[in-house]
Amino acid sequence: MNRRDFSILALGAALFGARTARAAEGDFEVTRTEAEWRDMLSDLEYRVMREDGTEPAYSSPLDKVYEPGTYHCRGCDQALYSSEHKYDSGTGWPSFWQALPDAIETKPDRKLFFVRTECHCDRCGSHLGHIFDDGPDPTGKRHCLNGVSLVFKPA
């Protein structure tokens, strides 16, 4: 499956509500009630971060931000990704070849016709996106993220 095919599948899943999981469950340093999450997030941010949704491809202004800085979790402000690890994957979502140490956790995602690796903030459990094995060296990984889950802080 190439990136274009995946983008079409992901967009279809987002449009037709093909999601069964919710934000990562577990003991997180930052916890909020559903009402508190809804108060602090827009409808799209909530759908992506707390219901494992996907924003439309090419909709995030962060996709084309390449200045020095750090990408933080919108849910808890934890630093997640460095601009040094960002690259243009051509998918329409902000992409990185690695996360900062001890910033994310992963779990299997079986919502589509194949298993993907979902990544979430390890501090608050907010859904960030997915990790694929078609990224650049040195890791070969592509952390394909929803821009609405992130806040960019220039260096």
Q: To which H or E segment does residue 71 belong?
A: strand 69-73
Q: Which has the closest alpha carbon to 5: 80, 66, 96, 91?
A: 91
Q: Which has the closest alpha carbon to 106: 116, 119, 115, 125?
A: 119
In sequence order, what DSSP letters do the residues of 77-107 get, joined into one string? --EEEEGGGEE--SSSS-EES-PPTT-EEEE
Q: What is d(CA 33, CA 106) in angstroms, rounded to the nearest whole number?
A: 22
Catalytic site residue from 76, 119, 121, 144:
144
124 part of the active site: no
Sign, CA torsion 16/18/22/23 = negative
Catalytic (active-site) positions: 144
